[in-house]
Structure 1
Amino acid sequence: MMLIVTGYMYVEPSSITEFVEDLQKLAITARQRDGNLSYDAAMDDPHAGRLLIAERWRDQAALTAHLHSSDTVAFVGRWGDAMRGEILKYDARRERGLMDE
């Protein structure tokens, strides 16, 4: 069952450029991981330090492997105290085109 991870990530606006650069490096690696279907972040409001996060993973095992990988752990270690997330995980059982019923 595919998992969708999405929501908002917040960092201090003064750190947003550095955070985005670091997150882009993590994204390059994450997209190459077995079971990653997509891994994206978009600036939503730079003045509030808010980014929109959207990830898709083949299954929980793939997501867990990503979350426990050394580069993800290091990223969280660097930014853990400076970031706050409102990110949730959703199960997707039936994927179809936007206009399909």
Structure 2
Amino acid sequence: MMLIVTGYMHTDPTEVPQFLAELKVLAIVTRQRPGNISYDAALDNPETGRLLITERWADQEALSAHLDAEETKAFVARWQGRMRGDVRKFDASNERGLLD
């Protein structure tokens, strides 16, 4: 069953450029991982340092492998205490086109 991970991450507005640069590096690696369907972030509000996060994974095994990967752990360790988030995971069992 496909999983959708989405929500907001927050960091100090002065750190947004560095956060985005490091996240871009992580995204390049993550998009190559087995079971990754998409992995994206967008700057939602530069004044508050809020970013929209959206990911799609083929299954929990793929997501767990990503969360356990060295690059992911290193990113989280570097930003621990400098980022906070409200990111949730959803099961997607009835995927269809937008107009279907």
The answer to whether the aligner puts 1:60 opposite 2:60 as a matched pair is yes
1:75-101 CA-to-partner distances (Å, cap 9, x unmatched) read: 00000110001000000001100000x
| Residue deviations 1:19-50 (CA, integer Å, cap 9, x gap) | 00000000000000000000000000011000
Deviation at 1:69, TM superposition (A): 0.1
2:74 matched to which residue of 1? 74
Q: Indicate the SS of the match to 1:33.
A: coil
- The 2-side partners of 1:19 and 1:13 are apart by 10
Distance 2:80 2:57 in 1: 22
Whole-Å separation in 1 of the counterparts to 2:81 and 2:73:
13
The residue that corresponds to 2:37 in the other structure is 37
Q: What is the TM-score with the length of structure 1 in the denominator?
A: 0.98
Using the aligned pairs only, state the percent identity.
59
What count of residue pairs does the alignment treat as equivalent? 100
| Regions of 4+ moved over 3 Å | none
Is residue 93 of structure 1 aligned with residue 93 of structure 2? yes
Letter in 1 for 2:75: F
- Secondary structure of 2:39's counterpart equals strand
**How much does 1:52 deviate?**
0.2
Which ranges of structure 1 fall in alignment gaps of 5 or more residues? none
Q: 1:33 is matched by which residue type in structure 2? A: R
